[in-house]
């Protein structure tokens, strides 16, 4: 009898231990959990354990500076694959994998090919080792020239990784200008509609930037990571467009967008303390510091109303053809086991 499992997930318990969990129907079948340091098919497992009678396995003794990908099997049949959504780097709080999401037509986005992040200015030597082992080929930076000068990505000179600067603004100010105004208690620009209008502006004026990322994916320059300052708005729009183009449902895209708010929880207390020390009311700043669901919804509704669909938008505004989308799907999607 074939075993069915669902909701396979990976949760980090400590620096060297990851818990793999799943839901399964009652079965006495033994499950094998294997792990590798590469998402590529055919990679020799770094280890394997066997589980029966429970729906989890704690994988211990993992190398802290290595990213792992996990596969569940029973009776020589693959039951599913998973990895940690968040890449636990020391110098970022929002570097994460877009893999694992299911599409509406029954496929799954491959793990380890597309990553999204906040800025890379605070990467540590251990982070460098982690990213080198992940074999990143391209970094796409959506920040303005001013933002890049203020906090350049911390990239070792010996890295053979291409850096592509694709500058854009969210709204009328970049992060550096916004911070200067905030320090001066000048918040008149931060209206309730500021974030929404910024998302709409990016949809209309930044299609060439999304096209540049997609073209690099088509040229097999992956794994790649794209990022902005906090990895929530400009990065969130790009992630949403790519996932929708691959056939991931809108509800999942909004879920992924909202994950930024979850991962920001490790960063926001420090930011709030700083702003409070300046005599600022953090409630006024909160919409600017989070990933607003309403703004993302507004952007997607605008695309639907103005272009009919994300695919039509990408074709009309970004020059991405249907044939190119099919090529993208063939390389970035896999069958659900």
Tell me if 127 sits within 8 A of 104, measured CB to CB: no
- pLDDT of residue 255 exceeding 50, the answer is yes
Q: What is the mean pLDDT of residues 10-14?
A: 96
Give the burial string for 120-134 (b: 16+ CB within 10 Å, else e): bbebeeebbebbeeb
Confidence band, pLDDT 50/70/90 cuts, at residue 283? confident
Q: Where are the domains of the chain?
A: 5-83, 96-335
How crowded is the C-beta side of 240, counted as CA atoms within 13 Å? 33
pLDDT digits (tens, 9 = 90+) for 146-194: 999 999 999 988 888 999 999 999 888 888 999 999 999 888 888 879 9
CATH for 96-335 (3.90.190.10, 3.40.50.300, 3.40.50.720, 3.40.50.150): 3.90.190.10
Helix-then-strand count for the chain, H and E: 12, 14
Confidence band, pLDDT 50/70/90 cuts, at residue 1? very low
Distance CA 249, CA 253 (A): 6
Q: Which of 228, 252, 242 shows the shortest CA–CA distance to 314?
A: 242
Q: Indicate the pTM of the whole model.
A: 0.95
Tell me if 66 sits within 8 A of 133, measured CB to CB: yes
- pLDDT of residue 4 exceeding 50, the answer is yes
Q: Which of 291, 173, 302, 155 shows the shortest CA–CA distance to 235?
A: 291
Q: What is the mean pLDDT of residues 80-104?
A: 96
pLDDT digits (tens, 9 = 90+) for 217-254: 999 999 999 999 999 999 999 999 999 999 999 999 99
Domain 5-83 has CATH 2.60.40.10: yes
- pLDDT of residue 271 exceeding 80, the answer is yes
Q: What is the 3-state secondary structure (H, E, C) of 233-286?
A: CHHHHHHHHHHHHHCCCHHHHHHHHHHHHHHHCCCHHHHHHHHHHCCCCHHHHH
For the chain, give the percent of residues with pLDDT over 90. 80
């Amino acid at each position: 009898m074939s075993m069915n499992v669902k909701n396979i997930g990976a949760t980090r318990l400590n620096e060297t231990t990851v818990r793999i969990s799943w839901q399964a129907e009652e079965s006495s079948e033994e499950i094998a959990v294997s792990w590798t340091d590469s998402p590529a098919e055919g990679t020799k497992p770094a280890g394997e354990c066997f589980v029966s009678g429970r729906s989890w396995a704690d994988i211990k003794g993992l190398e802290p500076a290595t990213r792992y990908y996990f596969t569940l099997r029973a009776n020589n049949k693959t039951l599913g694959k998973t990895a940690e959504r968040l890449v636990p780097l020391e110098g970022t709080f929002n570097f994460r994998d877009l893999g694992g999401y299911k599409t509406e037509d029954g496929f799954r986005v491959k793990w380890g090919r597309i990553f999204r992040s906040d800025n890379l200015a605070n990467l540590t030597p251990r982070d460098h080792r982690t990213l080198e082992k992940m074999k990143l080929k391209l970094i796409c930076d959506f920040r303005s020239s001013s933002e890049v000068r203020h906090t350049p990505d911390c990239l070792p000179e010996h890295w053979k990784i291409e850096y592509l600067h694709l500058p854009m603004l969210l709204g009328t100010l970049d992060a550096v200008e916004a911070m200067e105004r905030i320090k001066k208690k000048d918040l008149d620009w931060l209206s309730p509609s500021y974030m929404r209008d910024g998302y709409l502006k990016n949809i209309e004026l930044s299609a060439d930037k999304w096209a540049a990322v997609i073209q690099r994916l088509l040229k097999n320059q992956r794994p790649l990571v794209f990022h902005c300052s906090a990895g929530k708005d400009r990065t969130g729009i790009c992630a949403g467009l790519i996932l929708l183009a691959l056939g991931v449902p809108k509800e999942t895209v909004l879920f992924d967008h909202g994950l930024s708010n979850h991962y920001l929880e490790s960063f926001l207390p420090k930011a709030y303390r700083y702003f409070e020390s300046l005599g600022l009311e953090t409630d006024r700043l909160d919409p600017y510091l989070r990933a607003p669901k309403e703004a993302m919804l507004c952007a997607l509704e605008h695309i639907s109303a103005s272009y009919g669909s994300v695919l039509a938008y990408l074709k009309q505004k970004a020059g991405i053809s249907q044939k190119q989308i099919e090529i993208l799907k063939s390389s970035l999607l896999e069958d659900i086991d």
